[in-house]
Amino acid sequence: MTWAHLRHGPAHQPYAHQPPAAPPAASAVDLAKVYGSGARRVAALDGVSVAFQQGHFTAIMGPSGSGKSTLMQCLAGLDTPTSGRALIGDTDLAGLSERQLTRLRRERIGFIFQAFHLLPALTVAENITLPLAITGRRPDRQWLDQVVTTLGLTDRLRHRPGELSGGQQQRVACARALAGRPDIVFADEPTGNLDTPTSAEVLSLLAHLTHRMGQTIIMVTHDPAAAAYTDRVVFLADGRITDELHRPDADQILDRMKRFDHL
């Protein structure tokens, strides 16, 4: 596998070795989230039911304020729904205490944000393993090597984040999210701070991690070009799922988004 090979764009082959009966990596069942009350009441999520299959790369898209972040936060156990259920695998998050939720987030979920959130004083290697170190978990060296190699970071491990380009820094953040071999990675606008070629590189890698290593990734994005790297795009509007596309190209996504102008 070479960078040139990766740059050919999305290889739309969901992970071939996935057992067919595997439960979804995450799911929402009639999920609702209401903020405020009276005149200030906002239904951020209004009865969302959706399942995210293991080993798939899924994008969540929709206009500003449509509920994308709220959905991601409820699924990741960072926010509590008003009603309905959010599940990671077959674990219903409503049944967990705060301590159990924290443990689930640390051990089963990886996060990638628009801002890389790397610690400048630590080396790349230390940044990648920091979440494991904090929780006293021992890294799976073989997995870590595979992640670092796949993300092209092998010769940067002793560098500090300030010595890296934006794309390299986001690749470090991706490696950090993957280091604990999470069941699922949530990526919130992961390429929002990157230029177009660098975004393409990072998205190719995310697609590669899904298709070749079975990593489940859910990504919130505004960018049709970014969503075109995924296997499936789920569209939200006014807190509801309105549509979805499978293995779309950027033009199909853009076309579907134009419909939101008429809602």
Ligand X SMILES: Nc1ncnc2c1ncn2[C@@H]1O[C@H](COP(=O)(O)OP(=O)(O)OP(=O)(O)O)[C@@H](O)[C@H]1O
Sheet holding 240-246, edge to edge: 109-112, 184-188, 217-220, 57-61, 232-237, 240-246
Nearest to 45 by CA among 61, 57, 28, 24: 28
Q: How many helices (H) and strands (E) does the chain have?
A: 9, 10
Residue 194 structure tokens? 């990157």
Contact with ligand X (CB under 6 A) among 26, 31, 44, 217: 44
Distances (CA, A) of 194 to 110, 202, 250: 20, 9, 18
**Closer Cβ to ligand X, 46 or 126, answer by number:** 46
Within the chain, residue ranges assigned H as helices are 3-6, 68-75, 98-108, 124-134, 141-150, 166-178, 196-213, 224-227, 250-258
Note whether 221 binds ligand X by CB under 6 A.
no
Window 14-43: contact mask with ligand X (x via CB under 6 A): ---------------------xx-----x-
Output the smallest distance, CB 34 to ligand X, in A.
9
Nearer to ligand X, 240 or 247 (CB): 240
180 binds ligand X (CB under 6 A): no
CB of 45 to ligand X, least distance (A): 8
Under the criterion CB under 6 A, does residue 70 sit at the interface with ligand X? yes
Any contact of residue 9 with ligand X (CB under 6 A)? no
Task: Please say which residue, 45 or 93, places its beta carbon nearer to ligand X.
Answer: 45
Residue choice 10, 67, 81, 110 for contact with ligand X (CB under 6 A): 67
Q: How far apart are CA 190 and CA 202, in angstroms?
A: 8
List 111's β-bridge partners, or say none.
186
Applying CB under 6 A, which of residues 54, 58, 66, 230 lies at the interface with ligand X? 66
For binding to ligand X (CB under 6 A), which residues are involved?
Answer: 35-36, 42, 44, 62, 64-70
